[in-house]
């Protein structure tokens, strides 16, 4: 029984190592157009540090700092600079028997705004609508029972601009949409936070549902 347990553990460990190697290879091959200030050499340096479990941080081409905040065998959160985060997630497809790449870029102004895109392992763009539906900002705002419709609409008007932020899960195959809190007076923050909801979509092997 003990031998079977050890063998199962080694198989799982081996599978995790293979997935991580694939992720590092995909990360190193990111097109320069997607990360113009992080060339192939710097990406290889970060991947090498991740392989050896070192702190992965480099000074990029424009003199700013780029660091890997967290990573797993199928996920990387890259802090490109102070104003941009990039999340990368490998997603296996059941019917096709292959793997695709989901990339979420989050841009940080007064409020966060995200984009989500999908690629092949060779970084060929895929049609986004094939893998996730459209989520409007208004659908992520909910009226508490304690608010009248008029008061709710007035508070919604404070979400200007109404920006959606998106995050991948490091541990799960999921994608979460929410609304960014705008730059408002401190006494309004708690009230506006009470209107914000999240929508979580899980990967079913073909798309996020």
Determine how many CB atoms are found less than 10 A away from the CB of residue 47.
23
pTM across the whole model: 0.89
pLDDT tens-place values along the chain, 209 residues long: 566 544 444 333 334 444 658 999 999 999 999 999 999 999 999 999 999 988 999 999 999 999 999 999 999 999 999 999 999 999 999 999 999 999 999 999 889 999 999 999 999 999 999 999 999 999 999 999 999 999 999 999 999 899 999 999 999 999 999 999 988 888 889 999 999 999 999 999 999 99
Positive or negative, the Cα torsion across 16, 18, 23, 28?
positive
Of 36, 103, 44, which is closest to residue 75 (Cα–Cα)?
Answer: 103
**What is the distance between the alpha carbons of residues 209 and 202, in angstroms, rounded to a whole number?**
5
**What is the distance between the alpha carbons of residues 157 and 33, in angstroms, rounded to a whole number?**
36
By DSSP bridging, strand 75-81 and strand 174-179 are unpaired
């Amino acid at each position: 029984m003990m031998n079977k347990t050890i063998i199962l553990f080694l198989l799982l460990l081996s599978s995790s190592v293979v997935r991580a190697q694939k992720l590092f290879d995909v990360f190193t091959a990111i097109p320069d157009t997607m990360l113009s200030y992080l060339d192939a050499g710097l990406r290889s340096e970060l991947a090498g540090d991740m392989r050896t479990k070192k702190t992965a941080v480099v000074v990029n081409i424009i003199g700013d700092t780029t660091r890997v905040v967290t990573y797993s065998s199928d996920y990387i959160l890259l802090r490109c600079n102070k104003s941009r985060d990039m999340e990368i997630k490998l997603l296996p497809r059941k019917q096709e028997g292959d793997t695709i790449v989901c990339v979420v870029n989050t841009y940080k102004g007064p409020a966060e705004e995200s984009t989500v895109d999908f690629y092949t392992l060779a970084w060929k763009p895929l049609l986004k609508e094939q893998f996730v539906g459209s989520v409007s900002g208004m659908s992520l705002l909910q009226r508490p029972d304690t608010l009248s419709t008029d008061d709710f609409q007035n508070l919604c008007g404070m979400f200007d601009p109404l920006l959606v932020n998106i995050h991948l899960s490091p541990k799960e195959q999921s994608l979460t949409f929410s609304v960014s809190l705008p730059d408002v007076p401190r006494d309004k923050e708690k009230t506006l936070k009470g209107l914000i909801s999240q929508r979580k979509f899980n990967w079913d092997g073909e798309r996020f549902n």
